[in-house]
Amino acid sequence: MATFLASTGWRAGEDEAGPSEFASLTGVLGAGFFNMNPEAVQVEVLIATDIACTVRIQAAAKEGLIRQRTAEKAVQRVIDYLQTLGAQPP
């Protein structure tokens, strides 16, 4: 996941991301028109076993007058990436 965040945007450090009680990664991705709208994405691992894990994906974006639903698209991009790793959505 860190590779995905680093390759499509940038990964936030722990001091930038804020505290979390779960193992998490936070970063900023580009989305919207030509990926020009920055959006914050946080992925937290809630439960992990030897064969699977449950994650929570949150995203937030500042949008102007035209709603582009960039936060929803960011979550979908992360889900798509995780599926390429063999993960299945609930």
User: Cα-flanking dihedrals φ and ψ of residue 71, to 5°?
Assistant: -65, -45
- Report the C-alpha gap between 67 and 89 in whole angstroms: 26
Number of neighbouring beta carbons within 10 Å of residue 53: 13
Looking at residue 88, its pLDDT comes to: 58
Q: Where are the beta strands (DSSP E) in 20-71?
A: 23-31, 37-48, 53-61
pLDDT values of the chain reduced to their tens digit, one per residue, 90 residues: 666 666 666 566 565 555 667 777 788 877 766 767 778 888 888 888 888 888 899 888 877 777 778 888 888 888 888 888 775 555
Looking at residue 60, its pLDDT comes to: 86
Looking at residue 64, its pLDDT comes to: 73
pTM over 0.75: no
